Amino acid sequence: MSAPLLEVGRLNKVFETKKGRVHALHNIDLAIKEGEFITVIGPSGCGKSTLLKIAAGLDTDYEGEVRLSGEKVTGPGIDKGFIFQEPRLFPWLTVEKNIAADLSLKKPEVRQKVDNLIELVKLTGFEKAYPRELSGGMAQRVSIARALLRNPKILLLDEPFGALDAFTRAHMQEVLLDIWQANKTTMVFVTHDIDEAIFLANRVVILKPRPGAIKNIIPVDLPFPRKKASTSFQEIRYKILSEFEKLDELELVESAGI
């Protein structure tokens, strides 16, 4: 078997705060293969963003191992793309300039790449538009295109569609799957929407809170395109829901002091 692209081993993260220590992640072990689409799901505060930031090299203050292509992650870099919930575009730059970032569109190879990305994220015709002229979904597509410009090995997305309405969100899921199928970029996608987690993923990682730890990893062996109303989809949904129900029972037992 080939070596994993992203390897997380015995990862622990503690935040020291004025109110005390928060053990945000506990002994996380996760190996992600090249080309895989992983979704990470779990209740608020269970450490999803912390895990993603560490994988992206945005937080290097942790214990354990985090490796990308066998090399220790020591900081952010062009091999790792990160998408936040809000698009974070430069309001004074057009769509194409936001995507090109610090590269010059006068260079033919940059122009070509940006044009291809604009087509890939379905924004043809909006090259010269400004962020204020875009809907939330379009703006997030610009930020995805920008993250893809330098061909990252991995794209880490932290609830990227969380602020969008249900219809836009469903459309964005399809666009993202098209991008994944076209580019084969490895994806790690955080969400707290169970349907979204199943619709996109090869495997769904379920986190539990206090401290954040992996509860289970559910493979999703359904062919694409997936139908959310299909029986096989619903079966996986029940499986994941039952994991959360077990989690609630556990919490009830803990809070009752049993």
The CA distance from 189 to 160, in Å, is 8
For 57, other C-beta atoms within 10 Å of its C-beta total: 19
Residue 17 interacts with, from Mg ion, ligand ADP, none (CB under 5-8 Å by kind): ligand ADP
Nearer to Mg ion, 52 or 172 (CB): 52
Among the candidate windows 43-51, 100-108, 197-205, 239-247, which touches Mg ion by CB under 5 A?
Answer: 43-51
Provide the token pair at 151.
Answer: 């061909």
Cβ nearer to ligand ADP, comparing 2 with 44: 44
Q: How far is the CB of 29 from ligand ADP (least distance, A)?
A: 18
Only one residue has tokens 């002229």, namely 133
Would you count residue 19 as binding ligand ADP (CB under 6 A)?
no
> 212: which DSSP letter?
B
Give 162's contacts (C-beta < 8 A, 6+ positions apart). 85, 191, 192
Closer residue to Mg ion (CB): 40 or 149: 40
- Restricted to residues 20-39, the positions that interact with ligand ADP (CB under 6 A) are 22, 24
Is 203 a residue that touches ligand ADP (CB under 6 A)? no
Within 10 angstroms of residue 95's Cβ, the number of other Cβ atoms is 27
Looking at the Cβ atoms of 50 and 143, the one nearer to ligand ADP is 50
- The residue whose two tokens read 């090109």 is 100
Residues 95 to 154 in contact with Mg ion, rule: CB under 5 A: none
Scan residues 45-64 and list those touching ligand ADP (CB under 6 A). 45-50
Q: How far, in Å, CA of 113 to CA of 68, rounded?
A: 25
**Closer to ligand ADP at the Cβ: 6 or 95?**
6
Q: Tell whether residue 6 is a contact of ligand ADP (CB under 6 A).
A: no
Among 11, 24, 39, 49, binds Mg ion (CB under 5 A): 49
Residues 39, 206: contact at Cβ < 8 Å?
no
Sheet with strand 6-17: strands edge to edge: 20-32, 6-17, 63-68, 71-72
Q: How far apart are the first and last CA of the chain?
A: 44
Binding site for ligand ADP (CB under 6 A): 15, 17, 22, 24, 42, 44-50, 212
Binding site for Mg ion (CB under 5 A): 48-49
